[in-house]
């Protein structure tokens, strides 16, 4: 398993949007809050925009991990970094120049993260890894919560971890989609250290116990 302390980032996609303040405060034991921005073009679903991200940023006790599932990331992603969020993830499939965009995001002051859909290979990005703070390997097709974990994405994590080690960089490897106590260890064992969990946290009766359970299961790898 990864040598790092596993980071757990619940996704508010699965929260009760009628009571966002309480929902965000409920996850203060987590390492961050994952905010899924969807534009109805890159994915067939529509969620939050900059104003909501700014609102969550104002009320959250934990850092914001913004996941942009939007087209034309080159145009829109820097504006999210300008809100002062901890990390901005854009999709490799939605940018013309991932390195330029990552540099811009870092320059503004957020961590720069690149996401890969299940069909997107890692190989073209391996030489570029020092340009990023994090790579998100999607373990479902982006767009919706509650889907099943794709274990066949694990070779991508292994390849990325080996390449990051070769570069000698502290690259965070994030997984998103279908992460629960029965899947998180598989991803941790393959090299992931940062875990997004929507339904398995917000669907639990005891959110603190769910976060602790995920952390323990990731450690067991």
**Which residues sit at the interface with ligand DX5, rule CB under 6 A?**
11, 13-14, 34, 36, 67, 140, 142-147, 176-179, 196-200
54-67 as b/e: b if 16+ CB within 10 A = bebbeebebbbbbb
CB of 163 or CB of 202, closer to ligand DX5: 202
For residue 147, the minimal CB distance to Zn ion (Å) is 11
Taking the CA atoms of 97, 99, 103 and 109 in sequence, report the sign of the dihedral they define.
positive
CB nearer ligand DX5, residue 69 or residue 171: 69
Looking at the Cβ atoms of 130 and 146, the one nearer to Zn ion is: 146
Residue 75, CB-side half-sphere exposure with 13 Å CA sphere: 4
Nearer to Zn ion, 63 or 167 (CB): 63
Q: Taking CB within 5 to 8 Å according to partner kind, which of Zn ion, ligand DX5, none is near residue 181? A: none
Question: Using CA atoms in the order 123, 125, 130, 133, what is the torsion angle rounded to 10 degrees?
Answer: -110
Of 36, 65, 133, 193, the active-site residue reads 36
Candidate list 31, 133, 176, 193, residue with the active-site label? 176
**Would you count residue 117 as binding Zn ion (CB under 5 A)?**
no
Would residue 176 show up in a list of annotated catalytic residues for this protein?
yes
Site for Zn ion (CB under 5 A): which residue of 7, 26, 67, 117? 67
Is 97 catalytic? The answer is no
Provide the annotated active-site residues.
36, 176
| Residues forming the site for Zn ion (CB under 5 A) | 36, 67, 176
């Amino acid at each position: 398993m990864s040598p790092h302390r596993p980071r757990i980032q619940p996704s508010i996609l699965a929260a009760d949007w009628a009571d966002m303040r309480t929902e965000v405060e409920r996850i203060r034991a987590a390492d961050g809050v994952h905010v899924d921005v969807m534009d109805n073009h890159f994915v067939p679903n529509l969620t939050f925009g900059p104003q909501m991200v700014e609102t969550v940023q104002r009320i959250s006790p934990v850092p914001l991990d913004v996941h942009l599932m939007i087209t034309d990331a080159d145009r829109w992603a820097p504006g999210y970094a300008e809100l002062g969020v901890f990390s901005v993830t854009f999709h490799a499939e939605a940018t013309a120049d991932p390195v330029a965009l990552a540099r811009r995001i870092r320059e503004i002051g957020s961590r720069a993260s690149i996401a890969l859909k299940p069909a997107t290979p890692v190989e073209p990005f391996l030489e570029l890894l020092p340009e990023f703070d994090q790579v998100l390997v999607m373990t479902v097709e982006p767009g919706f919560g509650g889907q099943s974990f794709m274990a066949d994405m694990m070779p991508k994590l292994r390849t990325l971890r080996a390449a990051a080690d070769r570069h000698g960089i502290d690259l965070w490897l994030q997984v998103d989609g279908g992460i629960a106590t029965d899947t998180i260890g598989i991803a941790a064992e393959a090299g992931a250290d940062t875990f997004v969990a929507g339904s398995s946290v917000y669907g639990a009766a005891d959110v603190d116990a769910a976060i602790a359970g995920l952390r323990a299961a990731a450690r067991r790898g």
